[in-house]
Amino acid sequence: MTAYEPNAEFFKTAARVAAESNGRIAVKKGGFEDISEVSSFDLVISVNGPFAYLLTPAARSNGLRAAVRALRPSGLIVIDVPNFDWIVAHYRVPLRQERPFGGGTVELRREHVIDREKHVFTTIDHYEVRGSAPDARVVSQTHAYAMVSPETLVSELEASGLAAIRDFGSFESRTPRTTYGARLLLVASKRAA
């Protein structure tokens, strides 16, 4: 198994896990556009939205070309992304969340910025840790996602050399669905040469 991770902190954790795998897992720093393998994999998986971080059509095209190039003939790609068409149409202001953490609590306050002109949905997460340290700490993380319609995403997958594209909507589903929901779980196969 080969994993790619562009986030420096997540990469450190992934590299630590890989080091304990007795050579079964390799971790490389980078994302979709950095995939360098050719005809090496039967399966490419993108879980929990990393493909949505590719904000431009050019970045998505480059990333898909690299992923398809890495697949063996008839290999599969699985892309799990938020369906922002559905999310915006059913939008609700995020609720505060609080959980126990290390003898104290951590609170998550989330805010969204929706830029329809640039097709970018930004989530800003503010984590406040209280009670487990002398002073409360607030850590913020910002995530920008491309707002791409399901139809556009399917078109981009087809243009990259993928076929038999199906949306399962979730990992629990065993049959493709015909309408799109809050998440897209697209499965496609590399076209035979």
pLDDT in tens, 22-57: 999 999 999 999 999 999 999 999 998 899 999 999
Rg (CA), the chain: 19
Identify the helix (H) or strand (E) that includes residue 190. strand 183-190
List the one residue out of 78, 54, 57 whose CA is nearest residue 190.
78
Sign of CA dihedral 147, 72, 188, 182: negative
Tokens of 167: 């949306």
Could you tell me where the DSSP H helices lie in 45-189? 57-70, 84-89, 150-159
- pLDDT recorded at residue 4: 94
* Percent of the chain's residues with pLDDT above 70: 97
Tokens of 16: 């630590």
Give 158-179 pLDDT, tens digit per residue. Answer: 999 999 999 998 888 899 988 8
CA pair distance 178, 176, nearest whole angstrom? 7
DSSP 48: S
Q: Do 88 and 78 contact (CB within 8 A), yes or no? A: no
Sign of CA dihedral 16, 98, 173, 119: negative
